[in-house]
Homo-oligomer: A and B are copies of this chain.
Amino acid sequence: MAVVDVLRPGFVQLRVMDMAQSLTHYRDRIGLDVVATGADGRVYLKADDEFDHHSIVLRPADTAGMDVCAFKVLDDAALDRLTDRLHAHGVVTQAIPAGEQLGVGRRVRFTAPTGHVFDLYADIERAPAGPMTDNPHVWRHEPRGMAPIRFDHVLLYGDDIDGAADLFTQCLGFRRVEEVETPDGTVLATFLSCSTKSHDIAFVRHAEKGKFHHCSFLLEDWNAIGRAADLMTRYEIPIDIGPTRHGISRGRTIYFFDPSGNRNEVFAGSYDHYPDHPRRVWSADQVGRAIFYYEGELNDRFMGVVT
Residues of A within 8 A of B (CB): 1-5, 7-8, 49, 51, 72, 74, 78, 131-139, 142, 149-150, 195-197, 220-223, 226, 229-234, 239, 242-245, 247, 250, 252, 269, 271-272, 274-283, 286, 289-290, 293-296
User: What are 16 residue pairs bridging A and B, where the CB atoms are less than 8 Å apart in the complex?
Assistant: A1-B1, A1-B5, A7-B274, A7-B275, A49-B271, A133-B278, A135-B289, A137-B234, A138-B233, A138-B293, A142-B231, A195-B274, A222-B223, A233-B293, A233-B294, A243-B243
Task: Report A268 CB to chain B, min CB distance, Å.
Answer: 9
Cβ of A149: which chain B residues have Cβ within 8 Å of it?
Answer: 271
A245: which of B4, B5, B138, B295 is its contact (CB, 8 Å)? B138
Cβ of A4: which chain B residues have Cβ within 8 Å of it?
Answer: 1-2, 4
Prevailing SS type, chain A contact patch: loop
Chain B residue nearest to A280 in the complex (CB) = B133
Cβ of A242: which chain B residues have Cβ within 8 Å of it?
Answer: 294
Cβ of A283: which chain B residues have Cβ within 8 Å of it?
Answer: 134-135
Task: Report A267 CB to chain B, min CB distance, Å.
Answer: 14
Task: Report A196 CB to chain B, min CB distance, Å.
Answer: 5
With a 10 A CB-CB cut-off, give which of A2, A242, A250, A272 has the most chain B CB atoms. Answer: A2
- 5 additional A-B pairs beyond A1-B7, A229-B245, beta carbons within 8 Å, are A1-B4, A1-B74, A1-B195, A137-B247, A223-B223
CA distance A110 to B302 in the complex (A): 50
Report yes or no: B294 in contact with A239, Cβ–Cβ below 8 A: yes
Chain B residue nearest to A4 in the complex (CB) = B1
Task: Report A29 CB to chain B, min CB distance, Å.
Answer: 10
With a 10 A CB-CB cut-off, give which of A137, A244, A276 has the most chain B CB atoms. Answer: A276
For the complex of A and B, 8 pairs with smallest distance between CB atoms: A221-B221, A1-B4, A223-B223, A222-B226, A135-B286, A133-B280, A137-B234, A133-B278
Given A1-B7, A136-B247, A277–B51 Cβ distance below 8 Å?
Answer: yes
Cβ of A135: which chain B residues have Cβ within 8 Å of it?
Answer: 247, 281-283, 286, 289-290
Task: Report A13 CB to chain B, min CB distance, Å.
Answer: 20
Report yes or no: A5 in contact with B2, Cβ–Cβ below 8 A: yes
Chain B residue nearest to A141 in the complex (CB) = B234
CA distance A8 to B132 in the complex (A): 26
CA distance A260 to B84 in the complex (A): 56
Given A74-B1, A281-B133, A250–B138 Cβ distance below 8 Å?
Answer: yes
Report yes or no: A276 in contact with B221, Cβ–Cβ below 8 A: no
Task: Report A73 CB to chain B, min CB distance, Å.
Answer: 9
With a 10 A CB-CB cut-off, give which of A132, A222, A271 has the most chain B CB atoms. Answer: A222
Chain B residue nearest to A282 in the complex (CB) = B135
Chain B residue nearest to A149 in the complex (CB) = B271
Given A239-B295, A294-B243, A74–B281 Cβ distance below 8 Å?
Answer: no
